[in-house]
Structure 1
Amino acid sequence: MKIKNITDVFFDLDHTLWDFDKNSALTFEKIFEINTLDFDIQVFLKHYVPINFKYWKLYREDQVTKEDLRFGRLNDTFLEMDVQVDPNLINKLSDDYIIHLSSFNHLFENTFETLDYLKSKYKLHIITNGFDEVQHKKMSKSNILHYFETVTNSEMVGVKKPNPKIFNYALETAKVKAEQSIMIGDSYEADILGAQNIGMEVLFFDINNITLDRNIIQIDNLASIKNYL
């Protein structure tokens, strides 16, 4: 079933095209080595991943600042691991993480093939809540930046998905109407509900096997986009 009357395709970046979990784990391995910290990376990640998820939800809802997120997610992880880490070292780890995150650039399976397929038919765009200083590097170093006509990030707009302002800003920048546009992303709250609320079509990239009891198209591989566009 093809979705009709679409001219512009908007993607989320992290967890949708750019394999955040894999790249993040490799970054932590690197910065622990740089700072001579001997932590079991799997034990660390078991605690860190849900804490990071919680902080990003708070950040989307403007309940914590960018600085709170960057320090708090690490500090809370070490507290949960019952490990004493000096606050100055946590700040350094936070900075090192941002510096080195874009040095790993694993993409999800079929990213290039899917973008090549779509590029010949649609204008492509990015809408991301990620930090401005790293998102551009991620896209550039993973060699996908050239696919996209516009890149909209939350720091540029001053609000985060699912706030309608960021979607409207992206549409205005792309010079396209909501009803001619589709949003593809992994976050039901930020990407899917956010886009639907302003009248965009949506595709839910379901990497976590979340079954939605709703009339929303779900895919678990980027190649499946070809079935709808």
Structure 2
Amino acid sequence: MKYRFLLFDLDNTLLDFDANEAQALPRVFAAHGVTLTPEIRAVYDAINHGLWQDYEAGKVAIETVLNTRFAKTMQHFGAEADGAAWERDYRRFLGDGHEPIPGAVELCKNLAAAHTYEMYVVTNGVAATQEKRMREAGIEDYFRVVFNSESIGAQKPSAAFFDYVFAHIDGFDRTRALLIGDSPTADIAGGKNAGLATCWFDEKGSGKAVSADYTIRALDELYEILK
């Protein structure tokens, strides 16, 4: 067995964040009297993506991402919004979504049943929301620890995030660890810089040139890698 320690990203690796977001965003805008049009969604996506990139680069705190993205979106259209209040509503609606990626529940169950691997989650998401979604998706109990950037105080792809993870796994050996995730930057670049083997989950077949040790488009392809 080449790999013992399996580090899984959560959003769009095990849980379908895109589907969760699609049901939550219209609800939060509607709760504040706004219809989420394609134009508003495009502006929100651009602002949100930029803020998350800044967070991954260590330029802003997670609170800045969460508490300004809705306010900045509405400011673009000449309206004021209480970003923190909108975010609280969004967290509540997002927490209602826990759709797994196809094959994720079966994969977690089967790997845990093998009693061969130690499984962990490494995520940049918000702790309470992520834990609720994992619990409701039925995968929480398969993982020994959920390492969350909000709790750690550092984020993927930073060395500080991975150093914390390694220090809090008993007997950890990075030469026997595999990181599985969908983000070329946070997961693959971050993992490689930390000395880990990486598996890029490219479900949509983006065709990007990503320097991962393995690339898969379906989670059940992971079984072959772990043989």
TM-score (norm 1): 0.88
Amino acid at match of 1:70: L
Amino acid at match of 1:26: Q
**% identity of equivalent residues:** 27
Check whether the contact 1:6–1:182 (CA below 8 A) recurs between aligned residues: yes
Check whether the contact 1:150–1:173 (CA below 8 A) recurs between aligned residues: no
Could you list the runs of 5+ residues in structure 2 that have no partner in the other structure?
none
Given the alignment of the two structures, is residue 73 of structure 1 paired with residue 66 of structure 2, yes or no?
A: no
Q: 1:110 to 1:61 in 2, by over 3 A?
A: same
Amino acid at match of 1:11: F
What CA deviation, in whole Å up to 9, does each residue of 1:152-209 have, x standing for no partner? 1112222111112222322232221111110001111111121112221110011351
Given the alignment of the two structures, is residue 146 of structure 1 paired with residue 136 of structure 2, yes or no?
A: no
Tell me what 1:224 maps to. Answer: 221
* Aligned residue runs from structure 1 range 1-229, under 5 A: 4-40=1-37, 42-80=38-76, 83-88=77-82, 90-119=83-112, 120=114, 121-175=116-170, 176-208=172-204, 209-212=206-209, 214=211, 216-229=213-226
| CA distance in 1 between partners of 2:211 and 2:165 (Å) | 26
What CA deviation, in whole Å up to 9, does each residue of 1:87-108 have, x standing for no partner? 33x4322210012211111111
User: Deviation of residue 117 (structure 1)?
Assistant: 2.3
Q: 1:212 to 1:10 in 2, by over 3 A?
A: same
| CA distance in 1 between partners of 2:3 and 2:91 (Å) | 36
Amino acid at match of 1:85: A
Alignment length (residue pairs): 222
User: Deviation of residue 79 (structure 1)?
Assistant: 4.2
Amino acid at match of 1:10: L
What CA deviation, in whole Å up to 9, does each residue of 1:59-112 have, x standing for no partner? 1222222232123322333344xx333233x43222100122111111111111
Q: 1:158 to 1:74 in 2, by over 3 A?
A: same
Q: 1:213 to 1:178 in 2, by over 3 A?
A: closer
Could you list the runs of 5+ residues in structure 1 that have no partner in the other structure?
none
Give the superposed CA RMSD.
Answer: 1.9
